[in-house]
A and B are shown apart, each in its own frame.
Chain A
Amino acid sequence: MTVPRKNISLFLSILFSLFIGCKNNSTTSSSQVVIAIPSDVERINPLFSYSINEANINELLFLSLVKHTWNRQAGELKTEPMFATSWEWNLDSSAIMLQLRDDVQWSDGVPLSINDVIFSFDVYSDPVVESYLYGSFKCFYTDKEEHIISSKTFEKLSETKLKINFKPGSTPTLFNLDFPIVPKHIFDKMPRTEIATAEESFAPVTSGPFTLEKWEKNQAVIIKENPTSFLHKDGNIKRIIFKVIPDYNARLAQLKNGEIDLAEYLKPEDVSQLKNSGSFVVTSLKGREYDYLGWNNLDPILYKKSGKIVPNKLFGSVKTRQALSMAINRNEVLSQYLRGYGAVANSPISPIFKNAVDDKLPPYSFDLAKARTLLEEEGWSDKDQNGILEKEGIEFKFTLTISSNNPRRIFAATVFKNNFRQLGIDMKIDQVELGMLIDRINNKSVDAWMASWIIPIPLDLKFSWYSNLITTPMNFPSYQNKELDALLDNLETKITGQQKNDSYKKVEAILYRDQPVTFLYWIDNVVAYNKKLKNIEVTPLGTVHHCWLWQ
Chain B
Amino acid sequence: MKRSLSILPLAKRITTSAFVLFLTVSFLFVLVRIAPGDPSQKFISPKLSPKLVEKVKTSFQLDKQIHVQYLSFVKNAATGNLGVSYAFHRPVVEVIFDVLPFTILFAVSAFALQLIAGLLLAVFAFHHNQKIWDKLLSRGSMFLYAVPSFVSGLLFIYVFSVQLKIFPSSGIKTVGTLESSFFLLLVDYTKHLFLPVLVLSLTGLPVYFKYFRENFEENQKKLFTLYLRANGVSERKILLSHLIPNSLNSIIAYAGVDLGILFSGALITEVIFSLPGMGRLTINAILGHDYPLIVGCTLTAGILIIFTSLLADLIRLNIDKRLIKGLLN
A135 at the interface (CB under 8 A from B): yes
Interface hit among A212-220, A413-421, A518-526: A212-220
Q: How distant is B184 from chain A, measured CB to nearest CB, in Å?
A: 6
A135-B51 contact given A19-B190, A50-B43, A253-B157, CB 8 Å threshold? yes
Q: How distant is B286 from chain A, measured CB to nearest CB, in Å?
A: 9
Which B171-199 residues sit within 8 Å CB-CB of chain A?
171-178, 180, 184, 187-188, 190-191
B59 at the interface (CB under 8 A from A): yes
Question: CA–CA, A453 to B44, complex, Å?
Answer: 11
Instruction: Please determine whether B89 and A439 come into contact, CB atoms closer than 8 angstroms.
Output: no
Q: How distant is B52 from chain A, measured CB to nearest CB, in Å?
A: 5
Interface hit among A85-93, A236-244, A264-272, A495-503: A236-244
Q: How distant is B65 from chain A, measured CB to nearest CB, in Å?
A: 19
Q: How distant is B288 from chain A, measured CB to nearest CB, in Å?
A: 9
Q: How distant is A256 from chain B, measured CB to nearest CB, in Å?
A: 6
B170 at the interface (CB under 8 A from A): yes
Count A interface residues, CB 8 Å: 62
Question: CA–CA, A246 to B190, complex, Å?
Answer: 21
A439-B276 contact given A197-B84, A253-B157, A253-B161, CB 8 Å threshold? no
Instruction: Please determine whether A438 and B44 come into contact, CB atoms closer than 8 angstroms.
Output: yes
A467 at the interface (CB under 8 A from B): no
Instruction: Please determine whether A250 and B272 come into contact, CB atoms closer than 8 angstroms.
Output: yes
Question: CA–CA, A453 to B47, complex, Å?
Answer: 11
What residues on A are CB-neighbors of B43 within 8 Å? Answer: 50
B213 at the interface (CB under 8 A from A): no
A42 at the interface (CB under 8 A from B): yes
Instruction: Please determine whether A246 and B169 come into contact, CB atoms closer than 8 angstroms.
Output: no
Instruction: Please determine whether B88 and A247 come into contact, CB atoms closer than 8 angstroms.
Output: no
A385 at the interface (CB under 8 A from B): no
Count B interface residues, CB 8 Å: 59
Question: CA–CA, A413 to B208, complex, Å?
Answer: 45
Instruction: Please determine whether A220 and B175 come into contact, CB atoms closer than 8 angstroms.
Output: yes
Instruction: Please determine whether A454 and B289 come into contact, CB atoms closer than 8 angstroms.
Output: no
What residues on B are CB-neighbors of A243 within 8 Å? Answer: 170-171, 175, 274
A435-B46 contact given A19-B191, A20-B166, A257-B162, CB 8 Å threshold? no
Question: CA–CA, A132 to B289, complex, Å?
Answer: 19
A134 at the interface (CB under 8 A from B): yes
Question: CA–CA, A45 to B191, complex, Å?
Answer: 34
Instruction: Please determine whether B52 and A134 come into contact, CB atoms closer than 8 angstroms.
Output: yes
Q: Which of A220, A245, A439, A473 contacts B176 (CB 8 A)?
A: A220
Question: CA–CA, A423 to B153, complex, Å?
Answer: 45
B108 at the interface (CB under 8 A from A): no
Closest to B98 in A: A217
Q: How distant is B19 from chain A, measured CB to nearest CB, in Å?
A: 31
Instruction: Please determine whether B49 and A219 come into contact, CB atoms closer than 8 angstroms.
Output: no
Instruction: Please determine whether A438 and B41 come into contact, CB atoms closer than 8 angstroms.
Output: yes
Interface string of B48-85 (1 = CB under 8 A from A): 11111101100100000000000000000000000010
Describe A's contact surface by its main secondary structure: mixed
B12 at the interface (CB under 8 A from A): no
Instruction: Please determine whether B46 and A456 come into contact, CB atoms closer than 8 angstroms.
Output: yes
Q: Which of A32, A257, A438 contacts B161 (CB 8 A)?
A: A257
Instruction: Please determine whether B272 and A249 come into contact, CB atoms closer than 8 angstroms.
Output: yes
A130-B56 contact given A244-B274, A246-B271, CB 8 Å threshold? yes
B165 at the interface (CB under 8 A from A): yes
Instruction: Please determine whether B41 and A247 come into contact, CB atoms closer than 8 angstroms.
Output: no
A134-B51 contact given A218-B99, A244-B274, CB 8 Å threshold? yes
Instruction: Please determine whether B168 and A259 come into contact, CB atoms closer than 8 angstroms.
Output: yes
A3 at the interface (CB under 8 A from B): no
Instruction: Please determine whether A197 and B90 come into contact, CB atoms closer than 8 angstroms.
Output: yes
What residues on B are CB-neighbors of A455 within 8 Å? Answer: 46
Instruction: Please determine whether B46 and A453 come into contact, CB atoms closer than 8 angstroms.
Output: yes
B18 at the interface (CB under 8 A from A): no
Question: CA–CA, A18 to B190, complex, Å?
Answer: 12
Instruction: Please determine whether B42 and A246 come into contact, CB atoms closer than 8 angstroms.
Output: no
Q: How distant is A442 from chain B, measured CB to nearest CB, in Å?
A: 7
B87 at the interface (CB under 8 A from A): yes
Instruction: Please determine whether A22 and B187 come into contact, CB atoms closer than 8 angstroms.
Output: yes
A219-B89 contact given A253-B162, A439-B37, A460-B46, CB 8 Å threshold? no
Question: CA–CA, A453 to B52, complex, Å?
Answer: 19
Instruction: Please determine whether A18 and B161 come into contact, CB atoms closer than 8 angstroms.
Output: no
What residues on B are CB-neighbors of A244 within 8 Å? Answer: 274
A474 at the interface (CB under 8 A from B): yes
Which A279-327 residues sit within 8 Å CB-CB of chain B?
none
Interface string of B251-291 (1 = CB under 8 A from A): 00000000000000000000111101000100010010100
Question: CA–CA, A281 to B84, complex, Å?
Answer: 43
B154 at the interface (CB under 8 A from A): yes
Question: CA–CA, A463 to B50, complex, Å?
Answer: 9
Interface string of B89-130 (1 = CB under 8 A from A): 110000000110000000000000000000000000000000
Interface string of A191-223 (1 = CB under 8 A from B): 000001100010000000000001011111010
Q: List 7 A-B contacts (CB under 8 A).
A: A19-B191, A26-B176, A27-B176, A39-B284, A130-B56, A130-B59, A434-B287
| Residues in chain A within 8 A of chain B (CB atoms) | 18-20, 22, 24, 26-27, 32, 34, 39, 42-43, 50, 127, 130, 132, 134-136, 146, 196-197, 201, 214, 216-220, 222, 239, 241, 243-247, 249-250, 253-254, 256-257, 259, 433-436, 438-440, 442, 453-456, 460, 463-464, 471, 473-474
Q: Which 9 A-B pairs have the closest CB atoms?
A: A135-B49, A435-B37, A218-B276, A135-B51, A220-B175, A439-B36, A436-B36, A456-B46, A24-B174
| Residues in chain B within 8 A of chain A (CB atoms) | 36-38, 41-53, 55-56, 59, 84, 87-90, 98-99, 154, 157-158, 161-162, 165-166, 168-178, 180, 184, 187-188, 190-191, 271-274, 276, 280, 284, 287, 289
